[in-house]
Structure 1
Amino acid sequence: MLKFSATLLACLMTVAVCEAQDAAAAFDPRDYAAHVHGDATEVYVLGTAHLAQYDGFDPAALSGLLDRLETLRPSVITIEALGPETIFLMQAYDARFDGAVGYFARAALDGVRLAGAETGLSMPEARLAADEALADWPDAPSAAQRRRLATLLAASGDVYSALVQWLRLDAADRLPGEGVTSELAELLDRVSASSNENVQIAVALAVRLGHERVYPADDHTASHLMGRVAGPMTAALETPEFAVIFDHPVFTATALEADDWRSADALLDYFRMLNTVEHGHLDAEGQWRVMIDRAWPEDVGRVRMAEWDTRNLRMAAHIREASADAVGGRVLSLVGSAHKPWLDAYLDMMTDMHTADIMAVLE
């Protein structure tokens, strides 16, 4: 047995050496993609404007975009929102993050407060209970089951998934019960009426497709980096060197087009523009190269770049985690358009994922 093991080890080492000689000197995780059993998981990154910043925006104008995305039929939809674990972590280290969680997850925290008081569960306990419910979820849940799951999801910090459950109820069943108080019902109705793209695109699409949830994938746990250079960053904003950023076409030309949304066709055209490779390069050039190609007081530009890289990498990790629920299928990731070129690049490096062309869906 010992002789056999030694022989086997020698053979394996020989094979490994030969493969190493045949392969490139540097390890590349993408090389393993050819060895994946079955179809690769496809991820479609949809860059979007932050719709809530446009006063009077009419969500009905998204109908053309939603019709296109519905044909994709993704199994998983991720959104640019903080997930329960990230919210819990940032709350625990609130002083480190200077209260940022309250800004980035206000609606989620309201849901935790209202639903948590009703259930008596902590965020981790509610998350576990929601996961257990989803793992044993019936094909035709009752209205009471949906209200109960909405409560658990809200208590866990996942207000957008709670909203999916709420909107999958018939209008007549969107009423208090099974942990949904009148205050929580009002919160869910208020969030559903917002023009936030997580609601009007991701949640709306999840409801259309019969999904039970969406997957928050954002991250702000590197925001403390900007806190430590707040002073020099404020000073940099006032310099002529920084002013060139806002003169860049990525801000001037696209902002004018955004003000001219009048119809579903016009808005779909705007999303097509945001998701071109050319726009991705233009945006990266206009917002990020300027951070590293010149001197800034106290290296504020490179610190800002570190925060941006970290955020995108952690977002990519959250999307990769969510993709485990769509093995060999399709993932749609909704992100602010500035993130798109970075996430396209990072996600395409995964051994079991392929970044697909969202333009093929939009066109």
Structure 2
Amino acid sequence: MIRASALLFAFFCSAACAQQPGFDPSKLKGPAQGPANEVLVLGSPHLSQLPKTFDPAGLRPVLDLLAAWRPQAIAIEALSGPQCDFMRRYPQRYQDSIESYCWDPAPARTATGLDVPSATAEAHRLLAAWPASPTAAQRRRLAAVFLAGGEPASAMVQWLRLPQAERRAGDGLDGVLVDLLTTLQGRRDESILIGAQLAARLGHERVYPMDDHTADGPSTDEKAAGAAISKAWDNPATKKRLAASAAREKSLGTAEGVLAMYRADNAPGEAKLAYDSDFGAALEEPSPQRFGRNYLGYWETRNLRMAANIREVLGEHPGMRMLVIVGSSHKGYLEAYLHQMHDVRIVDTGPLLR
């Protein structure tokens, strides 16, 4: 009788008796002396997905406001060269992700003779001894090394820091790589148009790719999973988000409209709306295969690994200000996860974007 009662209690108590853990890292902030790390997470639309009415020149007020905060490092939603190199070793699992998210370093390997591991090590070596006033030849060399290491946005930082007349082939950059950089400079990509542009303007030598797709993988039933999750996404919160986005897109030909878009994407309540529309809906998706929870598990894992990549950089340079540029739906998760870190303070984007 006692055993049966205990089992019944455990069954009914599994959810009702759940409690917060006794240890909460977010309440143990430090250090007592010296500056803490400050992180400002800028939620951004993916600029490549905006309509043709979007004028990249309209980003100038956003860049000016971010520059005034003077971040000492900039992290971007991009995969690192080493992660893509790892994923290429497992094409059965990651082929789609490689094609979607990984820069092809082959042309730079041909030009420099460096594979991704060698180029990554060479970039670290060069930066460790980087002079206060590097020559144009040194910048071209580092740009070529970054490209060979699968880090095109950091290569772009070096390219933009060159005087216009020095943006040419030489020192590891051949004609193919120069053409690639010229094309990349105009790409509608927040990692380039905000991240690399701002890094060059502030005198940084690189940006930090912090995205992670190692949780990617094919579903056992892609068609059924897609149908189930799409059905979950058909809800009032999604309709509200789509209507607001469509309204904002009408003004993207002006700088005022672009700034208004960033204010809206970073407004209080936007993270909860994204949850209600997307991840919370997936959590409650009722398929017997639990497709929605598979998707949610991928999403949370990805954000946790992104937060870990950001924290790793902060740990290497304690006491810094870091700007993180990320798709808007990631913003709330990254802020929440990074807030758990003892040595991280989250900076409110609201006052900055006013």
How well do the aligned residues superpose, as a CA RMSD in angstroms?
1.8
SS of residue matched to 1:298: coil
Q: 1:90 corresponds to which residue? A: 87
Q: 1:291 corresponds to which residue? A: 282
Shift in Å, 1:255: 2.8
Q: Residue 281 in 1 paired to residue 272 in 2?
A: yes
Q: Which residue among 127, 136, 140 is the counterpart of 1:143?
A: 136
Shift in Å, 1:277: 1.9
The question of whether the paired residues in 2 share the 8 Å contact of 1:45 and 1:340 is answered with yes
The question of whether the paired residues in 2 share the 8 Å contact of 1:44 and 1:355 is answered with yes
Q: Residue 42 in 1 paired to residue 33 in 2?
A: no
Tell me how far apart the structure 2 counterparts of residues 318 and 252 of structure 1 sit (CA, whole Å): 34
The question of whether the paired residues in 1 share the 8 Å contact of 2:238 and 2:278 is answered with no
Q: 1:227 corresponds to which residue? A: 219
Unaligned runs of 5+ in 1: 1-23
Q: 1:59 corresponds to which residue? A: 56
Deviating more after overlay: 54-63 vs 321-330: 321-330
Q: 1:13 corresponds to which residue? A: none
Q: 1:347 corresponds to which residue? A: 338
Shift in Å, 1:238: 6.2
Counterpart code for 1:93:
Y
Q: 2:161 corresponds to which residue? A: 168
Q: Residue 254 in 1 paired to residue 250 in 2?
A: no
For the structure 1 residues 118 and 276, does the alpha-carbon distance in structure 2 shift closer, same or farther, using more than 3 Å as the test? Answer: same
More helix by share: 1
Tell me how far apart the structure 1 counterparts of residues 201 and 136 of structure 2 sit (CA, whole Å): 17
Map residues 1-363 of structure 1 onto 2, 5 A cutoff: 26-56=22-52, 57-105=54-102, 108-109=103-104, 112-224=105-217, 226-236=218-228, 239=231, 241-244=232-235, 247-363=238-354
Tell me how far apart the structure 2 counterparts of residues 170 and 206 of structure 1 sit (CA, whole Å): 15
Tell me how far apart the structure 1 counterparts of residues 212 and 220 of structure 2 sit (CA, whole Å): 18
Q: Structure 1-normalised TM-score?
A: 0.88
Tell me how far apart the structure 2 counterparts of residues 25 and 61 of structure 1 sit (CA, whole Å): 46
Shift in Å, 1:331: 0.5
The question of whether the paired residues in 2 share the 8 Å contact of 1:245 and 1:287 is answered with no
For the structure 1 residues 296 and 116, does the alpha-carbon distance in structure 2 shift closer, same or farther, using more than 3 Å as the test? Answer: same
Q: 2:5 corresponds to which residue? A: none
The question of whether the paired residues in 2 share the 8 Å contact of 1:122 and 1:156 is answered with yes
Shift in Å, 1:222: 0.8
Q: 1:15 corresponds to which residue? A: none
For the structure 1 residues 297 and 255, does the alpha-carbon distance in structure 2 shift closer, same or farther, using more than 3 Å as the test? Answer: farther
The question of whether the paired residues in 2 share the 8 Å contact of 1:47 and 1:336 is answered with yes
Tell me how far apart the structure 1 counterparts of residues 32 and 242 of structure 2 sit (CA, whole Å): 41
The question of whether the paired residues in 1 share the 8 Å contact of 2:307 and 2:337 is answered with yes
Q: 2:4 corresponds to which residue? A: none
- How many residue pairs match? The answer is 334
SS of residue matched to 2:169: coil
Counterpart code for 2:70:
R
Deviating more after overlay: 129-138 vs 280-289: 280-289
The question of whether the paired residues in 2 share the 8 Å contact of 1:94 and 1:100 is answered with no
Q: What per-residue deviation string (whole Å, max 9, x for no partner) do you get for residues 52-71 of structure 1?
A: 11242321000110010000
**Among the aligned pairs, what percent are the same residue?**
38
SS of residue matched to 1:177: coil
Unaligned runs of 5+ in 2: 1-19
Shift in Å, 1:153: 0.6
Shift in Å, 1:118: 1.7
Shift in Å, 1:30: 2.5
The question of whether the paired residues in 1 share the 8 Å contact of 2:228 and 2:285 is answered with no
The question of whether the paired residues in 1 share the 8 Å contact of 2:283 and 2:296 is answered with yes
Counterpart code for 1:63:
R
Q: Structure 2-normalised TM-score?
A: 0.90
Tell me how far apart the structure 2 counterparts of residues 286 and 25 of structure 1 sit (CA, whole Å): 28
Shift in Å, 1:245: 6.5
Q: What per-residue deviation string (whole Å, max 9, x for no partner) do you get for residues 29-88 of structure 1?
A: 234324453121000000000111124232100011001000010011000000122111
Tell me how far apart the structure 2 counterparts of residues 354 and 229 of structure 1 sit (CA, whole Å): 42
